[in-house]
Structure 1
Amino acid sequence: MSIRNSSLPPRSLPKKPKRNNKKGFFARLGKAIFIIFIIAVLVVGGYLTYLYVKLDQGVLDTGVDKPVAPEQSAKVKPLTMLLLGTDNRPKHVSYLTDVIMVVSLNPVTNSATIVSLPRDSYLELDGYKKDKINAYYSRFKKKEKTSGISAEDEMKTMMGKYLDVDVDYVTILDFQAFRDVVDALNGVNVNISADMCYTDSVDGTDINLKEGPAKLGGDEALDYVRYRKSNCVPKTKGSDDFDRNKRQSEVLHSMIDKMQSLGGVAKLGSILDAVNNNMKTDIERDQLKNMMTEYYKISKEDVEFKPVTGTWRSPYVYINEEELDAAKQSLQDRLAEVSPAPSDSP
């Protein structure tokens, strides 16, 4: 994963919704442990049966209650999902997306490709007004009543066109889910590379993290993945989208480690509640079961991360076109994969 350090772009307060900046993957994981990651965190450690039963009994109120045709099952068909982390919190209603990822899954090779895009990316696409990529979900939300098209469907269409793939599903997670999941796991272990300090009385942000190994609770972990710039005296070093992507990955791996521990098993009910209460998806419940059944043993080696970077020129990140083309190709290649031919050698 290529991470570039540069001065943090100032956090601009969008016309109404603030950009997805707050949400980081968990920008929201950093804000949102999007579904694939949530699925990975929850089932990689061997919790498939528990989740499957919860879904089957309707206890976990997640997903769409309609049948899935056998040929559309995740067990046999490669699928692509859009994962969004929104800057939505109890005292801050917003649909800006801090986390924007597209995941392609292939059941034949039991593998996945995950492409992440900076939230401040400048998007210029036929049929759409030029803007930061994190602003479109909020814009589509405002137009739902007049357009008759859900913001989620609009995002699938737009991102599919942008990345040259058909997007089958979309999942949205918010800030609170991230906090609750981290707290349910009794915190995450990270190694903070530098001091981080930022305060905002408007939304209650109070980031004050010190360099070195640390165990972070939900609020602090959210601060860690969200941090962009400092307004403290003395100022601490700023952070760009690419630095945040790196921290999001660090937090994710720590969460997976926690889930694979005995403590994670004991906390599973609380984790499911956090996901259930703070996630929206158009994935059918039966399809969720199919995904869990098919991918619960996927290994880290079979998950390819393709973060797309770019150059910051306020107020946008201008995407590296070569990286974007490579990301598109990786998604397409993953969907087209077939099992390797058997070797002729004895």
Structure 2
Amino acid sequence: MSPSDHGSLPPRQQTQRKSSGGASKGAHARKGKKKKGPVKRFFQILLIMIIVLVIGAGGYAAYLAYNVNETINQAGADRPVAAGQEANVKPLSMLLLGTDYRPESGTHLSDVIMVIAMNPKTKSATVVSLPRDTRFSMEGYKTNKINAFYPNFLAAEKKSGISAEDEMKTMMSKFFDLNIDYVTVLNFQGFRDIVDALHGVDVNVDKDMCYKDTADGTDIDLKKGEQHLNGKEALDFVRYRKSNCSPRTDASDDFDRNRRQNDVLHALIDQAKSLNGVLGAGKAIESVGDNMETDLEQGQIKNMIAAYWNISKENVHFMPITGDWKSPYVYLHDDELEAAKQALKDELAGKTVQTTEDSSSSDGNSGN
């Protein structure tokens, strides 16, 4: 791996795909079709999957499950789940991408890249995250930042005949030496809507953050300390990288961003179990329809809720992989990558997962 170079921060990738022209119009039209009839309703229920499975809805899962079944019944049947592949009996893996698409920017860079392994017997999940500027070099693919592949695949869909989601799932399966079963893509607008529907989240903002960009409408202005953040502010918190304000605020790197993603996910777990979470669930379902893509079967979503409705946040293990920054890439630490690969396999096998967070906790307790 290349040595660390902290003299500057990773620049924002410029090769972005705009919704206003070219291939992106096809992608936008593809999303637009989901506004009609049962197809839209099908994608609306995916928010519940994210809340219940990834975010850990727990306390009001029975309420959610009722609404999911109603929505699925309205949407009708999709393709059946293959025999023996049901999520309530078989461990599964999923690629979760969070893209930077918002109406004011139109881009599709995958700023959040997570691989999730989940096991119905242990009622647990392992979530591995990668920095957005990770140098991705693998046979069959041109070396690039990992967050650039999804928009590139989107641009090539018409020519290749293969969906960008399938291309990402195939690529990441090879990278992690793991058969990834499903892929779900949630954009920034969907993230904001989820947080707002749950009436915001409580987080500890670790530093003052200020950055403004009129080109894409970014206006980040957060103060250090305990905060109750709305959807826009929560997105600013997880996105913040550098400052162009006067006075300048301290910069962040990809590893800070991954840590903040985990902080917000934990905060959403707590908020989802609150009364506000219950009251906001219906609004959240309605808001997500045009902001998500997935290849989950409708029946599999029912299976997932049956298997993971009572998952606790203590059983959701986060493993952010870090590395060294040398412009323009982050070079992953090989030992962390191998440990993450093994943790995903252990989760699927039903073995106890030892995460970096667990190790740090054990080391800290050993001296007491």
TM-score (structure 2 length as normaliser): 0.81
Structure 1 unaligned regions, length at least 5 = 19-32, 340-346
Q: Deviations over 1:199-240 (max 9, x none)?
A: 001011111111122111111111111100001111110001
Q: Secondary structure at the match of 1:58?
A: helix
1:131 aligns with 2:162: no
* Letter paired with 1:52: A
Which piece of structure 1 moves more, 60-69 or 121-130? 60-69
Q: Secondary structure at the match of 2:220?
A: strand
Give the whole-Å Cα distance in 2 for the aligned partners of 1:35 and 1:122. 33
Structure 2 partner of 1:267: 280
Give the whole-Å Cα distance in 2 for the aligned partners of 1:60 and 1:267. 22
1:152 aligns with 2:165: yes
Say if 1:16 and 1:278 are closer, same or farther in 2 by CA, change over 3 A. closer
Any residues of structure 2 matched to 1:49-198 within 5 Å, and which?
Answer: 49-58=62-71, 65-198=78-211
Q: Secondary structure at the match of 1:228?
A: coil
Give the whole-Å Cα distance in 2 for the aligned partners of 1:42 and 1:275. 15
Structure 1 partner of 2:334: 321
Structure 2 partner of 1:25: none
Give the whole-Å Cα distance in 2 for the aligned partners of 1:143 and 1:104. 29
1:14 aligns with 2:14: yes
Is the contact made by 1:54 and 1:60 (CA closer than 8 Å) also made in structure 2? no
Structure 2 partner of 1:309: 322
Give the whole-Å Cα distance in 2 for the aligned partners of 1:263 and 1:176. 20
Structure 1 partner of 2:244: 231
Give the whole-Å Cα distance in 1 for the aligned partners of 2:224 and 2:92. 40
Which structure has more helix as a fraction of its residues?
2
Aligned length: 322
Shift of 1:7: 6.5
Shift of 1:9: 2.0
Say if 1:209 and 1:42 are closer, same or farther in 2 by CA, change over 3 A. closer
* Letter paired with 2:341: K
Give the whole-Å Cα distance in 2 for the aligned partners of 1:64 and 1:248. 34
Say if 1:8 and 1:291 are closer, same or farther in 2 by CA, change over 3 A. farther
- The share of aligned pairs that are identical, in percent, is 55
1:245 aligns with 2:258: yes
Give the whole-Å Cα distance in 2 for the aligned partners of 1:145 and 1:80. 27
Is the contact made by 2:49 and 2:301 (CA closer than 8 Å) also made in structure 1? no
Say if 1:8 and 1:115 are closer, same or farther in 2 by CA, change over 3 A. farther
1:336 aligns with 2:364: no
Give the whole-Å Cα distance in 2 for the aligned partners of 1:292 and 1:269. 17
Shift of 1:250: 1.6
- Runs of 4+ in structure 1 off by over 4 angstroms are 4-8, 33-37, 59-64
Give the whole-Å Cα distance in 2 for the aligned partners of 1:153 and 1:117. 19
Give the whole-Å Cα distance in 2 for the aligned partners of 1:199 and 1:206. 5
Say if 1:301 and 1:255 are closer, same or farther in 2 by CA, change over 3 A. closer
Is the contact made by 2:209 and 2:250 (CA closer than 8 Å) also made in structure 1? yes
Say if 1:253 and 1:53 are closer, same or farther in 2 by CA, change over 3 A. same
Q: Deviations over 1:316-338 (max 9, x none)?
A: 00000110011111111111227
Q: Deviations over 1:52-92 (max 9, x none)?
A: 33333336999982211341100111111000000111122
